[in-house]
Structure 1
Amino acid sequence: MAGAPGAPRRLGFDAIRALHNRTGLGNYARHILDGLAEADPARELHLYTPRPAAPDLAPWAERLGATIHLPPAGWRRPGSRALWRTSRLGRTARTDGIELYHGLTHEIPRDLPRRGIRSVVSVPDLLYLTRPELFGWADRHSYTWRYRWSAEHADAVIAISSGTRADLLAHFRVAPERVAVVPPAVDPRYLAPVEATTVDAVRNRLDLRGPYLLAVGTLEPRKNQQLAVDALATWPDGPTLVLAGRDGGSAAALAARATARSLRSRVRIVTDASDVELPALVAGAASACYLSTGEGFGMPIVEALAAGVPVVATAGANLEDAGGTVVDYVPADDPDAVAKAWQGHLAPDASAPAAREARVAHARRFDRRTLAMRLLAIYDAVHRGDPLPTPDDLTIPQPAKDGP
C-alpha cells in the first residue's frame, strides 16, 4: 500500500498514551501501531512524546521499530513539553517530513493545520459530555476546549463505535462524511487458544472449583459491578462470581456489599491478575458480564466472545458494537435480568458449537491487522484529499431495536 499513488509514507502519531499508559487508551494506541507495522511494514512510524517511554513499555517500543521523537532543546521542562505537545509539535513534525499525523486519543497539535500536514484524530469516547457527573468542572471545561477544537480541525475523525460517532455529531460541528467508525483491536492473546494447563493454574491460584461467572474491568462505580453482586444475590444456588480488574476505588465497597448479602464466600475480587492469567481467566468462565453504565466501546466483551464465552451486557451503554447480535442485553438496574441471562448461559445449548462459533466469529472482526488496513485506507484518502472510503466494510451487526 505504501507504493500506491497518494499514500503517505511517513506517519506521525501522538504516542504519550502508547508509551506511558498500561491499560485503556494505552492499549488502544499500541494495538493500532502494532497493527500498522504488521499491515504495511514499508510505512515509517514516527512517535511523538513529551518524555521517554516508561521503563516497562520501552521494550514494546523497541520491538515496534518506530522512530521516537522527544521535544527539541528548550522544550523539555514539564510546562514547556506540555505546550510543545499541544501547540508546537506541528513544527517538529514538518521538519521531520511527516506526511500525515494521527492524534490517537482526542487531540492533534494546534499548529498542525498551518504546517500543511493533514491529520486524523481518534475519539475513544465523549463521556465527559454524556456522563458529566463523573468529571469535575475543570476537567470538563479543559476536555471540551481541547477535544472539540481537534475534532473540528482534523481532516478526518475516527470514532471507535457507532455510539461515539453519534455523540460526536451531536456535540461537535463536524460534517458526518468526515467521521468514520473504526473499532479498537482486540489483543491477539485473546484470539489465540489458551492451554488447559494455564486455565487450571489460574483456577487453582484463585481456588475456583466449579463453574464461575466473570466481570472484567476497573473496579469503579461506572463499571457497575455492584449490579453483578446484586444479581448473584437473587440466585441462591448460583456459582462463584469473579470481579477482576484494577481497584479504581470500589473494591472495598464491593466486598462489603457481598458480605451484606451473605455472598462473601461466592464473590472473589481479583486485582492482581497478570497479562498471562487474564486471558486464561476469561477462557475458563462459564459466563461473562459487562454491566457498565457508559463506555466508548467495551473491549472486555470482545475478549470474552473471542474465547467463545457467552456475555451479558447493559443496554444503552454504547456496548452494542462490541457485542453485536451475539450478546444478551439487559437494563443497567435489573439484577433479575442479569441472573436470568446467567442461568441461560449455563444451559447446555449456550455451549453448543454453533453458539460458540458465532461468538468467536464476531470477535475475529476486531483483528488488529484487519482494522489497520481500514485505517491505512483512511490515511490514504485523507492524504489525497479524497472522500473517506465507503461503504464501511466494518459495520458491526446491531441488536434489534426492541432489545434482545
Structure 2
Amino acid sequence: MEIAIDYASAVWQGAGIGRYTRALVRELLRLDRENRYILLFPAGLPGWPAPFLDHLRTLRDMRPDLRLRPLPLTDRYLAIFWQRLRIPLPVETLCGRVDLFFSPDFVLPPQRRGRRVVTIHDLAFLVYPECAVPRMTWYLHGAVSRAAARADLVLAGSESCRQDVLRFLCLPPERVVVLYSGVESYYRPLDDPARLAEVRRRYALPERFLLTVGTIEPRKNLPRLFQALSTLPEGIRLPLLVAGKPGWLYQETFDTVERLGLQRWVRFLGFVPDEDMVGLYNLALAVVYPSLYEGFGVPPLEGMACGTPVLTSNVSAMPEVVGDAALLVDPKDPASIAEGLRRLIEDEALRAVLRAAGPERARLFTWERAGRQLYELFRRVLGQK
C-alpha cells in the first residue's frame, strides 16, 4: 500500500508538532516494512530553505525505498494555498496515487480517493478562544472541523483531548482514538558532572532554580505563575527560568514581571535546543507547568523523565499524563500555585518521592510504542490483517 505523510511540520518546526512528527514517523518507518511511504513537504524557497531538512538523510539511510516529495515553497504558503484559499488541487497531483494520507498537524489537503488519518493535538482554540489570536481561531475552527469531518480516523493526544473532539466536533466515538506522544530516550537523569557544569556555565545558572518550559503565550499561564512566585517570602523564593520563545499575545507575560517587580527573579532564556534542555531539566530544583489547557503536555513528561520534581495543573490532559508522579495545583488560583511552589522548595522528602516516581511514569510513554500503535491503526484503516 502507498502511504503519504504531510511532513511540513517536521522540516519547519524545531519543537512541538515538529518534534512529534519527526519522532513518530521515524518509529513508523522503522517498524512498518510492509507499506511504502512518501513524505510530502514544502522545502522552502531560494535563500529561505526549511530549517530542519538534515535528518531526512538518516531516514533515507534507514529506508532506501522512502520517497521524498519536496515542494518549492514555504509551509506558510502551502497552508494558504490549501487551507485559506482552499485551492482544490488534490494531493495525488503532487505524490501520485495513495491508499492512505496521514496528517500529523490538524488539517488535511484535498484528496480524490484513499483513506485519511489526522492528528488533532488539542482544541485550545475552542476551549480557550481568548488565548488565541481571533483570526487564527476563525481559521482553525474551519480547517480543523473540515479535516475531522473528512477523516476516516482522528488521533487525539490524550483521552482528555478525545473528549474535547467528541464534544466540540461531534464525531462518532469509534472514529476518534487516543495516540499518546512519547519522550525521547535522551531525556533521562544525567550522571555527567562535566556536561552539567557546561550547561550551568553557558546559561549562567544559579545554584538552585525553578524551570518552566514552553512557547510564551496566554495558555501557558505565566502571569499567574509570576503572581504566585511574588507571594513567596524572599527567604524561600527561588529564581524562575523560562525556556521558550515568544509566541503570540505575550506582552502581558513580560509586563507582569515588571508590574510585580520580579526582574531579579525571572529570566527569559528564549529557545533552548534539546541537548541543553536535558541539562536544564537535570539542574532545576523543579519543573513548574501550571498551563490552563493541554492536549498532552510534553514538558512535565520530559522533566519527570529526567528525574526532576514536577508541578503541573490538575486540569485537561496533565493529570492523565503525570499520574501520581507530580504535584497538581489549580492553575487559575495563584494561591494554589504558590502553595505548591512552597512545598516543592521546602519539602525535601516530597522532592525525593517525585524524583523516584517521575522516570518510572515517563517510561510508559515511548515513541516506539506510539509508532507501533500508529502502524496497527493504519493496518486497521486499510483493512490489512
The TM-score by the shorter chain falls in which range? 0.7 to 0.9
1:121 aligns with one of 118, 123, 128: 118
RMSD after superposition: 2.9
Structure 2 match to 1:398: none
Q: Report the alpha carbon displacement of residue 109 of structure 1 after superposing the two structures with TM.
A: 2.5
Matches of 1:110 and 1:272, distance apart in 2: 34
SS at match of 1:304: helix
What code does the residue aligned with 1:266 have?
Answer: W
**Mapped contact 2:228–2:335 kept (Cα < 8 A):** yes
Matches of 1:282 and 1:126, distance apart in 2: 28
Matches of 1:39 and 1:385, distance apart in 2: 15
**Mapped contact 1:198–1:277 kept (Cα < 8 A):** no
Which stretch shifts more, 38-47 or 268-277? 38-47
What code does the residue aligned with 2:110 have?
Answer: R
Superposed counterparts of 1:351-362, under 5 Å: 351-352=351-352, 355-362=354-361
Structure 2 match to 1:37: 29
Structure 2 match to 1:57: 52
> Alpha-carbon deviations, 1:251-292, whole Å to 9, x = none?
775455335434322222211533321111011111111112
Which stretch shifts more, 33-42 or 125-134? 33-42
**Mapped contact 2:308–2:354 kept (Cα < 8 A):** no
Q: Give me the TM-score of the superposition, normalised by structure 1.
A: 0.82
Q: Report the alpha carbon displacement of residue 79 of structure 1 after superposing the two structures with TM.
A: 7.6
Structure 2 match to 1:312: 311
Superposed counterparts of 1:87-126, under 5 Å: 87-92=88-93, 96-111=96-111, 114-115=112-113, 117-126=114-123
* CA distance 1:380–1:257, change in 2 (3 Å): same
2:232 aligns with one of 212, 232, 235: 235
Contiguous gaps of at least 5 residues in structure 1:
1-7, 73-77, 387-404
Structure 2 match to 1:245: 244
* CA distance 1:79–1:306, change in 2 (3 Å): closer
Matches of 1:272 and 1:79, distance apart in 2: 25
Structure 2 match to 1:19: 11
What code does the residue aligned with 2:18 have?
Answer: G
Matches of 1:281 and 1:233, distance apart in 2: 23
> Alpha-carbon deviations, 1:186-205, whole Å to 9, x = none?
23331474633222222223
Moved over 6 A (4+): none
Structure 2 match to 1:373: 372
* CA distance 1:71–1:230, change in 2 (3 Å): closer
Superposed counterparts of 1:72-83, under 5 Å: 82-83=81-82
Matches of 2:358 and 2:79, distance apart in 1: 48
Contiguous gaps of at least 5 residues in structure 2:
61-65
Matches of 2:71 and 2:306, distance apart in 1: 42
Which stretch shifts more, 259-268 or 84-93? 84-93
**Mapped contact 1:310–1:327 kept (Cα < 8 A):** yes
Matches of 1:257 and 1:171, distance apart in 2: 33
Q: Report the alpha carbon displacement of residue 215 of structure 1 after superposing the two structures with TM.
A: 0.7
Structure 2 match to 1:276: 275
What code does the residue aligned with 2:244 have?
Answer: G
> Alpha-carbon deviations, 1:58-90, whole Å to 9, x = none?
111221224221459xxxxx5899249974344
Matches of 2:37 and 2:215, distance apart in 1: 31
1:287 aligns with 2:282: no
Matches of 1:89 and 1:188, distance apart in 2: 38
> How many aligned positions are there?
370
* CA distance 1:44–1:210, change in 2 (3 Å): same
Matches of 1:184 and 1:227, distance apart in 2: 27
* CA distance 1:80–1:19, change in 2 (3 Å): closer
Structure 2 match to 1:266: 265
Matches of 2:79 and 2:176, distance apart in 1: 32
**Mapped contact 1:19–1:57 kept (Cα < 8 A):** yes
Matches of 2:305 and 2:79, distance apart in 1: 44
**Mapped contact 1:191–1:364 kept (Cα < 8 A):** no
Matches of 1:247 and 1:71, distance apart in 2: 28
1:171 aligns with one of 139, 164, 168: 168
* CA distance 1:71–1:252, change in 2 (3 Å): closer
Matches of 1:331 and 1:109, distance apart in 2: 39
Q: Report the alpha carbon displacement of residue 207 of structure 1 after superposing the two structures with TM.
A: 3.1
Structure 2 match to 1:141: 138
Q: Report the alpha carbon displacement of residue 334 of structure 1 after superposing the two structures with TM.
A: 2.2
Q: Report the alpha carbon displacement of residue 249 of structure 1 after superposing the two structures with TM.
A: 5.7
Matches of 1:90 and 1:252, distance apart in 2: 39
Q: Give me the TM-score of the superposition, normalised by structure 2.
A: 0.86
